[in-house]
Chain A
Amino acid sequence: MSIKTEHMVLNMGPQHPSTHGVLRLELELNGELIVNVKPHIGYLHRCFEKHAEAMTYPQIIPYTDRIDYLASIYNNFGYAVTVEKLMGIQVPERVEYIRVIFGELQRIASHLVAIGTYGLDIGAFTPFLYCFRDREKILSLFEMTCGARLLYNYIWVGGLSHDIHPEFVRLTREFLNYFRPQVEELNQLLSYNKIFIERTANIGILPAETAINFGMTGPNLRGSGVKFDLRRNDPYSIYDRFDFDIPVGDGRMGTVGDCWDRYFVRVLEIEQSIRIIEQALDQIPEGDVSSAIPKRIKPPVGSVYGRVENPRGELGYFLISDGGLNPFRLKVRGPSFVSLSVMGELCKGHLIADVIAILGSIDIVLGEVDR
């Protein structure tokens, strides 16, 4: 005898505590088992790309802040690098160093949110607040420099909006000295916790081939064991001057490319970012940060693709200029948007609780998915 059963459809989101913003996941369930996952996006769509066509090049920078609001500096950075590439601007040494320091501080801040909220998704509340406590200190360093804590409008085409505060170098060193042991504490509290490993190891395994086919970048790709980092493979700014490693997932707790690997790559990247910042702080030269800022930004006719390694992966700007004051077209290639597409593939056959673990491990920012 067979009993007629049907699958339950559960809408997770758009208002749900752990969808990291306003994402709606349509889950098709067999009991608690996932049959299918369909992400529905667009709740945060703000027409960034269309807006950009109606604004001058410097006016776009504050809008780029809002793409990925956890890594604003990096959005500025990528945009500036792209426009400079088209215009052929050589920025001063000091600017490059400050950009790298800020970019890496931003990477640490962004990874702290990723790690903290991931702990929260798994049910550990305390590491979340520890991460935010340390992130606050980084935000204070930013605030000291440009007055903003979240949306900075700091990296301009050809330079920076302000020079760093005279105390900045000393305070950043102080912060790094304070912060290094905190990473160890975080590992003891969360990364090597037995329950945490049980929940994340061997869950949502993303083989390297699938990751490449889906176009994943950043920690998600490196978690699958692929050593690809734009800072090394296609160096922009002055990243070729620093000595750092590219951590990859090694399946230490389970299989290569599982949630734990993706999580732990971020922890290791924090340590590498600390190394880069320390080297940059040692080498930073004196100089003027606004000397190369053009009076009027009017790039020549043409198109350019600029890309940077943002905390979530490859952030690319494709810019077409018709020689006017506004870009003809500005297309953003967001890493979270691409990463989200792999959700359906990763979730099949797992439980509801694993959907949360997987979603947290690919670390999306909905602001950037929808733009």
Chain B
Amino acid sequence: MLELFTELTGDALLGMIINSLIPLVFVIPLALFFVWLERKVSAHMQDRLGPMITGSHGWLQTFADVLKLLQKEDIIPADADRKLFTIAPILVFAGSYAAFAAIPFSSAYIGSEIDMGIFYVVAVSGLVVAGILMAGWSSNNKYSLLGAMRSVAQIISYEIPTVLVILSIVVLAGTLNLLKISEMQTAYFWNWFIFGGPEPGLIKFLLIPFMFAGFLILYISSLAEVNRTPFDIPEAESELVAGYHTEYSGMKFAMFFLSEYANMFVVSAIVSAVFFGGYQSPFGYLGNSLGISWLVPIEQFFWFTAKGIFFVFVQMWLRWTLPRLRVDQLMAVCWKYLIPYSFVNLIIIAFLELYR
């Protein structure tokens, strides 16, 4: 894709800029859509209608909200650390946006095909932690500080089971490159890693239960990483008001908000890329059977988005059903259950792969 843009514009730098802006064009409408979806999902679960006035079924509601936030006064608390307070939301958004660079949207487009793809995504997601801690510290508010501390402890702890599960997939795939991992799971849905991966044989069937366990661990930790219920402790509104972004208003608040929803999609995309074939269709491509080759990437893009949205929907579903854990219980879930299980899972998968 980069080559194409470079050729079209005739300038390497310009091509690079266009290439890197594509995810932004994708992310912002998607985040706005998720905010709307969250409201509708919660409303319908709770016997309500949700936004209905702005546009048909309120689909313009988030646009109106963002416009409102843009016009709002940008308040910085008197005793806040002004520099950190301003940088924090940008850093958080940058962290979640940067992750999109290595996520394959389809076989035709990936921001940057780096061999360390999945490692890169995990690493830049860690950048969000720094932003959150900055926000909590610089606000000079006790609730913000408590929220930020909880958030940091939580995200760092839950990165371990995430990485361990991803590692088990890397063992099977033999690559860290997300594009290659997705490419491997092509053709039909039984080639997805959740069903034991593309290689046929007895081992494939033996792998299936461990793959499901791995998927559950990864999904639970991804919930914790994006601070969603039952792990939304950093912003537990009944305890900490709004957690680390209590003092934020206007566009800075919107940045936190958008990056939260963008992050939800990133973790969903990771889950679908490593376990559910990424952008691959579950049952072949219409473009292939019709012989229209340009249709295939579009279909792939559709499947990628659909899977991502589905997992985001599950996150919302859980949020509006479950209560919230306490901070020490959250840590106990991670250190006492998820990490040992994911270790055992990794070892078993590695052994099975060894004796394939």
The answer to whether A and B belong to the same complex is yes
Residues of A in contact with B (beta carbons under 8 Å apart): 8, 10, 16-18, 32, 119-126, 129-130, 133, 189-190, 193, 195-196, 198-199, 351-356
Within 8 A of A (CB), among B39-86: 42, 45-48
Which residues of chain B are near A356, meaning CB under 8 Å? 238-239
Residues of B within 8 A of A17 (CB): 237-238, 241
B322 touches A199 (CB 8 A): no
Q: Which residues of chain A are within 8 angstroms of B323 by Cβ–Cβ distance?
A: 119, 122-124, 190, 193, 195-196, 199
Q: A126-B46, A198-B329 are in contact. Are A18 and B324 (CB under 8 A)?
A: no
Alpha-carbon distance between A167 and B353 when the two chains are bound, in angstroms: 73
The yes or no answer to B146 lying at the interface (CB within 8 A) is: yes
Of A129, A130, A133, A351, which one neighbours B327 at CB under 8 angstroms?
Answer: A351
Total count of chain B residues near the partner, CB < 8 A: 28
Residue B328 at the chain A interface, CB threshold 8 Å: yes
Q: Which A residues are in CB contact (< 8 Å) with B241?
A: 16-17
Cβ contact of B320, chosen from A126, A198, A355, cutoff 8 A: A126
Please pick, from B46, B325, B329, the residue contacting A125 in the complex, using a CB distance under 8 A: B46
Across-interface contacts of B46 in A (CB, < 8 A): 125-126, 129-130
Chain B contact residues, CB within 8 Å of chain A: 42, 45-48, 142-143, 146, 229-230, 232-233, 236-241, 320-329
Closest to B237 in A: A17
Which residues of the partner chain A approach B230 to less than 8 Å between Cβ atoms?
123, 195
Cα-based distance from A2 to B300 in the complex (angstroms): 61
- Is the Cβ of B320 less than 8 Å from the Cβ of A353? no
A271 to chain B minimum Cβ distance, whole angstroms, is 22
User: Which residues from A are CB-within-8-Å of B42?
Assistant: 125-126
**Given pairs A125-B46, A189-B321, 16 additional interface contacts (CB within 8 A):** A10-B146, A17-B238, A18-B239, A123-B236, A123-B323, A123-B324, A126-B320, A129-B47, A130-B47, A195-B230, A195-B322, A199-B323, A351-B328, A352-B146, A352-B240, A353-B233
Q: Which residues of B contact A122 (CB under 8 A)?
A: 238, 323-324
A351–B240 alpha-carbon span in the complex (Å) = 12
Q: In the complex, A356→B236 CA distance in Å?
A: 11
Given the complex, which residues of A lie within 8 Å of B229, measured CB to CB? Answer: 123
Chain B residues with CB below 8 A from A130, complex form:
46-47
Quick one: closest A residue to B332, CB to CB? Answer: A198
What are the 9 A-B residue pairs with the smallest beta carbon separation, nearest first? A123-B324, A18-B238, A124-B323, A129-B46, A122-B323, A123-B323, A353-B326, A121-B238, A195-B323
Q: How far is the CB of A359 from chain B (nearest CB, A)?
A: 10
Q: Please determine whether A352 and B329 come into contact, CB atoms closer than 8 angstroms.
A: no
A199 touches B326 (CB 8 A): yes
Query: In the bound complex, how far is the Cα of B142 from the Cα of A16, in angstroms?
Result: 13
CA distance A195 to B236 in the complex (A): 15
Partner of B321, one of A126, A351, A353: A126
**Inter-chain contact A129/B326, CB cutoff 8 Å:** no
